[in-house]
Structure 1
Amino acid sequence: MFTNEVIASFNDLEMLLYKYVMQHKEKVVYMRIRDLADESHVSTSTIMRFCRKLHCDGFSEFKVKLKLLLDEKPNMKVKSGQHVLAEFFERIQNERFTSKLEDAAEAISKANHVYFIGIGSSGALAEYGARYLSSLGTFSTYLKDWYFPIHADLHDCVTVALSVSGESGITLSHIHKLKEKGSEILSITNNMQSTIAKASDNNVSYYVTEEFFAESNVTTQIPVIYILEELARKVYEIRNRKKI
C-alpha cells in the first residue's frame, strides 16, 4: 500500500499524516476521520487526499486496507539458539566432516591469495571470514563489488563462497567468473546438494533447519562462524608445520 512512489508524492501535511499513521497503526484502524484529523493536526480534506493517493475511495476503505496490512504480520515459531547449536555440534562429530574441513584448509594453505564472496548475511560473514583468516597470517580479501574487474590469472587463488541456500544467482554468477580466471572454489552452504555446492571444487555443508520470516531467510549463521574460524585455525597450523 505504501509504495516508494506513493510516499514520494506526499506533500508536507500528507507526510505528517503518514508518519502519525505509521506510529499508531493499531489505533488508527478504529478512529473516526475527525479523531484522526485532531490527533495528527491536519484537516479532514488532507486525509481524503491522502486516501485517494493510496487508491482508496474514502477513509473507510483506507482503514480496511490498513487493517489487512496489520493482519499480514507474519508469526513464526523459531527454535532456541541452544537447540540449534546442540543439533549442529552433534552432527559434526564425525570423521567425514573433519576430513572436509581439513581438505578445505589444505587447499587454502597452498593459495597465494584467498577471496571471500557472499550476499546478505552471508556477505557480512564473508567479510568477517576474510578478516579472521588475515588475522592468522593468510592474506585474504572480501569481494564486495560484484562488478569488480578481474583480468588476472587466479590459478594460485582460492575463493570461499558463502550461501545458506546454495542457490544465490548472484553468488553463482560470481563463482563462474572467478572459476573462468582459474580460481579454485570452496563453498560453505547448508546443503551439499545445492547448485553452488555442486559447482565448487570443495564444499563444507552444515545442515541446520532453514527458517524464514516473511521473505527473509533467518537461518542461524552460528555454524558458518564456527566453520570459518576452524578453517582459519587449521590453515594456520598447516602453514606452521610446513615451516618446520
Structure 2
Amino acid sequence: MSIFTHEMIVSFNELETALYNYISQNSEKAAYMRIRELADETHVSTATILRFCRKAGCEGFSEFKIKLKMSLEEKKKTVIKSPQHSITEFFERTLHSDLEYKMQEAATLVSAADSIIFIGTGSSGILAEYGARYFSAIGKFSLYIKDPHFPIHTKFRDNSVTIVLSVSGENPFTVTQINQLKKEGSKIISITNNKLSTIAKISNMNISYYVTEEWYQDSNVTTQVPVIYILEAIARKISRE
C-alpha cells in the first residue's frame, strides 16, 4: 500500500508536489538516497524535504526512508492466492449459512418491483451493469446507474428495488447514491463482503459472502465470483416465480 494518503497529497505545495512525483517515480532509488542527494536531484532545499516528511507523517527524513523501504518490501511480498482457494472458501461457507434464504428473500422483493436499479463502482460497477443485463434477460426491467446525479424518471423510481454491489461496503460515492435512492423511495438490497459495513447497515436487506479480501500492491483483487453466483441465483429464482 502507498505511504501517501489522499489528504497528504492535496496538502502538498508546488515544490512538495514535485518532490512527491519524483519519489513516486523513483522510489527504489529515493529509499537509499541521503537528504542532500535528494535535494540536489529534485532542486529543492533540505528544509522543503523535511517539511514534506512531516506532512507525510514522519518526524524526519530517516523515518520517511524507513517507511518507504517497508512499503517497497510489502509490494514485493504480495502473493495472490489461486482462484480455487477463494471460490472453495465461499462455497464451503454457503453450506453453513442462510445464503439460500437470503437470496430467496431478495428474489421475492425483486419480483414485486416494477423496475430494478443496479449501482456500483470499479469492478463492482462492471458487475452491476452485467446484473442489469442479466435481470432484463429474464424479463425484469433493469438499468445500471453510474452517476448519482443522473435523473431517474418517477415511473422508474416508484415501486423500485436498487441492488448495490460493493466489496468493502464503504465506498462514499456509492453511499451517496444509496442515500439519494432511499429518499426517492427505492428499497435497497446490498451485496457486500461484510454485513457490518456502512452500505450493509443502511440497506433494507444485505447479502454478504465473506471471502478473504486480497490486494495486489494498491489494487483490490478480491474475487468477484460469489457476486456473479448470487446475482444469477436471484435472477433464476425470479424466473421460476
Q: Same fold (TM over 0.5)?
A: yes
Greater radius of gyration (CA):
1
Does the alignment pair 1:97 with 2:114?
no
Partner of 1:135: 137
Residues 70 and 136 of structure 1, relative CA distance in 2, 3 Å threshold: farther
Counterpart position of 2:222: 219
The answer to whether the aligner puts 1:111 opposite 2:104 as a matched pair is: no
Task: Give the 4+ runs in structure 1 shifted more than 6 A.
Answer: 48-52, 68-71
**1:116-139: CA deviations, max 9, x gaps?**
000111111101111111112212
Distance in 1 of aligned mates of 2:41 and 2:68? 20
**Matched ranges for 1:185-224 at <5 A:** 185-224=188-227
Distance 1:51 1:176 in 2: 48
Listed as ranges, the matches of 1:56-135 within 5 Å are 73=72, 74=74, 75-94=77-96, 96-135=98-137
Superposed CA deviations along residues 65-123 of structure 1, whole A, max 9, x for unmatched, are xxx98995553122211111111001112461100000001111111110000011111
Shift of residue 193 of structure 1?
1.2
Displacement, 1:158?
0.4
Gaps of 5+ in 1: 10-21, 27-47, 57-67, 239-244
Aligned with 1:149 (options 148, 151, 164):
151
User: Could you tell me whether the CA contact under 8 Å between 1:146 and 1:174 is conserved in 2?
Assistant: yes
The CA deviation string for residues 42-61 of structure 1, in whole angstroms up to 9 with x for no partner, is xxxxxx99978xx99xxxxx
How many correspondences in the alignment?
214
- Tell me the distance in 1 between the aligned counterparts of 2:113 and 2:134: 16
- Residues 51 and 132 of structure 1: is their aligned pair in 2 closer, same or farther, counting only changes over 3 Å? farther
Look up the equivalent residue of 2:159 and give its one-letter code: D
- Match in the other structure for 1:160: 163
Task: Answer yes or no: is the 8 Å Cα contact 1:187–1:197 preserved in 2.
Answer: yes
Is the 1:155–1:184 Cα contact (8 Å) retained in structure 2? Answer: no
Per-residue displacement from partner, 1:132-189 (whole Å, max 9, x unpaired)? 1111221200002222023626231000000111111111110010011110100000
Distance in 1, matches of 2:209 and 2:97, equals 14
Query: Do residues 173 (structure 1) and 173 (structure 2) align?
Result: no
Q: Any idea what the Cα deviations from partners look like across 1:186-232, whole Å, max 9, x if unmatched?
A: 00000111111111111110001111233322211111111111111
- RMSD, aligned CA: 3.9
Structure-1-length-normalised TM-score? 0.69
Letter in 1 for 2:122: G
Contact 2:116–2:142 (Cα < 8 Å) also in 1 = yes
Q: Which runs of 5+ in 2 are unaligned?
A: 1-8, 19-24, 29-39, 50-66
TM-score (normalizing by structure 2) = 0.70
**Structure-2 change in CA distance of 1:49 and 1:195 (3 Å):** closer
